[in-house]
Structure 1
Amino acid sequence: MPDETILELVDLKKHYPVLGGVLRRQVNSVKALDGVSLAIRRGECLGIVGESGCGKTTTAKAVIRLHGATSGAIVFHPKDQDAPVEITHLSPRQLKKKDLRHRLQMVFQDPTTSMNPRMLVKHIIAEPIIEKESLTSVELEARVVALLKLVGLDRSHLYRYPHEFSGGQRQRIAIARAIATNPECLVLDEPTSALDVSVQAQILNLLRGLQKKMGLTYLFVTHHLLVVKYMADRIAVMYLGKIVELAATDDLFENTRHPYTWALLSGIPSTEPDATRQRVLLKGDVPSPLNPPQGCRFHTRCPFAEDICLTTEPPLADMGDGHMVACHRSHETPHLFIQRQTAQ
């Protein structure tokens, strides 16, 4: 896996204001992202997992600049440019002028709502191409047909509307639109969660094939751990707006270091009929992002919390081989996990 970085998030924060009172002044803020730092390598698939509300989709939308960041930096490294570009506060016009918008594309969770129901498939896929370059109508149609074939469709689908397709076909069209501008990085926001299981497998295989064929980089957001295990080279685990663990996929599954990750992985059903697995049930609810706990944000639900966890926020530290963990007890957690399972 090449170590060249294509995208960096540096202490990225996104706070949504909460207004109150007669004058509608800001009285609080929802801390959806509260200091996320990541470096995504060119050509890899980086997965982001976590419970609903942890900040996964907000991260995806901040990267693609659908949501502006409150603070921090998003740095993009274009392939054919020597200097990296900070895109955090660039306007849509500036992104287009600097030849950056087409390099970062997104595939949304629900293909039905991400496409204009009044537009033919031909025009849906052609729209980003027209924005990027000038082609004759014949050349444009040939390009659209080539893209449809690339995602498993054909010319007969050109003159249909989105509602005339199945969910899996609509997602294929959304993928074709996303790769129409030859992007360097695709942000995938739970691209298979709205699909049947059999169709999910087809879409995942399609995405893997496209990544290999086009040299794409993926930021893959999902809550499905088996899906991210199949797709991702590395996985970042998020909890309440922060990354609590980041590691290579195999290392994360085999050498879990954070109690929250341990609890998530314990919920994966086994394919072995005689296998026994101790499910880790976390107590309490996820705290509100309006008023996150002091210290470690997971301490209110952590079975191994100590006094220091209540007052001091643990840094995201490297445990070796790029395995990053934000836990005061990360050096002893494997022993604690075994000890807890034995006691049960």
Structure 2
Amino acid sequence: MTLLKVQSISKNYGKLPALDNISFSISEGTALGVVGESGSGKSTLIKSILSMESIHSGHILFLNQDIHKLKGKQKRELYKDIQIIMQDPSSSLNTKLPVWKSMVEPISNFRDRKDTLYPNLSLFDIAKKVGKMVGLKEEHLTKYPHELSGGQKQRVSIARGISLHPRLLILDEPTSSLDVSIQAQILMLLKSLKKELQTSFLFVSHDLTAVRFLCDEIVVLKEGKLLERFSSDDVLKEERHDYTKQLIRYTAI
């Protein structure tokens, strides 16, 4: 079943094209990686899918609903099933609150989903349950963001993202700000969660190695254009685009 369908979308900033006739789809339970250097259009693509940016042409369908035509309650309902994990975990954490309160903010905003997923559990018990899924101990939950390491904060951010059991999780460079050893741990965690929750991933990154590890298929963006799409197993095939080969050299696959 097709979960997300991006149909021929284009977006300009003035006369500068940020996205140029981009099309792809994501099926339920699969992971698609989007790779490209800075300026390739990755951030604009994410904002367009989240309806944070308008598009000049094309359509973005989630469960056959045109995201950019949704308003009010319909648009709010969308965010039960699409969540994002940011590059900087601190951006989703309130510095004045213990992290468990930030973790359960999404679920507290959608009481019907809370009652379905976590019947009779308090918000703190939900935080403990979701925290355990991402490898956090109860003692971590009552700490403030500045008291946690970068890897621990990213685990909190992931817990926040999965608390609603979304059907699509957008990963925006989730490991790029972490030490290499911690990056590997977070990627392993995400792979495990994908299998456990059967959530679809849209993994946006400049790191082709990380994308190859986590995703079933990969699309390559350059200057707002989609150059090619291929299976993660086919990264090293000779027919890859020259730009893709350049990314491969940069990430030492």
Calculate the TM-score normalised by the size of structure 1: 0.68
CA RMSD of aligned residues (A): 1.8
Matched, 1:186 2:169: yes
Distance 2:107 2:27 in 1: 26
| Structure 1, unaligned runs of 5 or more | 17-27, 78-83, 271-344
Give the 3-state SS of the residue equivalent to 2:235 in structure 1. Answer: helix
Higher relative contact order (CA 8 A, sep 6+): 2
Moved over 4 A (4+): 134-138
Residue identity matched to 2:33: G
Distance 1:216 1:31 in 2: 32
Q: 1:132 aligns with which of 102, 110, 119?
A: 110
1:210-261 Cα offsets, whole Å, 9 max, x none, are 0000001000011111111111110101011010010101223224332222
Counterpart of 2:221 in structure 1 is 238
Distance 1:187 1:111 in 2: 14
Distance 2:137 2:154 in 1: 15
Matched, 1:68 2:83: no
1:21-170 matches, cutoff 5 A: 28-77=14-63, 84-91=64-71, 93-96=73-76, 99-133=77-111, 139-170=122-153
Distance 2:92 2:125 in 1: 24
Counterpart of 2:7 in structure 1 is 10
With over 3 angstroms needed to count, the CA separation of the structure-2 counterparts of 1:38 and 1:138, relative to structure 1, is closer
1:96-148 Cα offsets, whole Å, 9 max, x none, are 2xx32110000001112232212221210121111111669952221111001
Calculate the TM-score normalised by the size of structure 2: 0.92
1:253-292 matches, cutoff 5 A: 253-269=236-252
Q: Percent identity, please.
A: 40
Larger radius of gyration: 1
Aligned length: 248
Question: Is this contact kept in 1: 2:220–2:244, CA < 8 A?
Answer: yes
| Structure 2, unaligned runs of 5 or more | none
Counterpart of 1:24 in structure 2 is none
- Point out the structure with the larger helix share: 2
Give the 3-state SS of the residue equivalent to 2:15 in structure 1. Answer: strand
Counterpart of 1:219 in structure 2 is 202
Distance 1:157 1:213 in 2: 23
Distance 2:180 2:132 in 1: 23
Following TM superposition, by how much is the alpha carbon of 1:163 offset from its aligned partner in structure 2, in angstroms? 1.2
Question: Is this contact kept in 1: 2:227–2:241, CA < 8 A?
Answer: yes
Question: Is this contact kept in 1: 2:93–2:99, CA < 8 A?
Answer: no
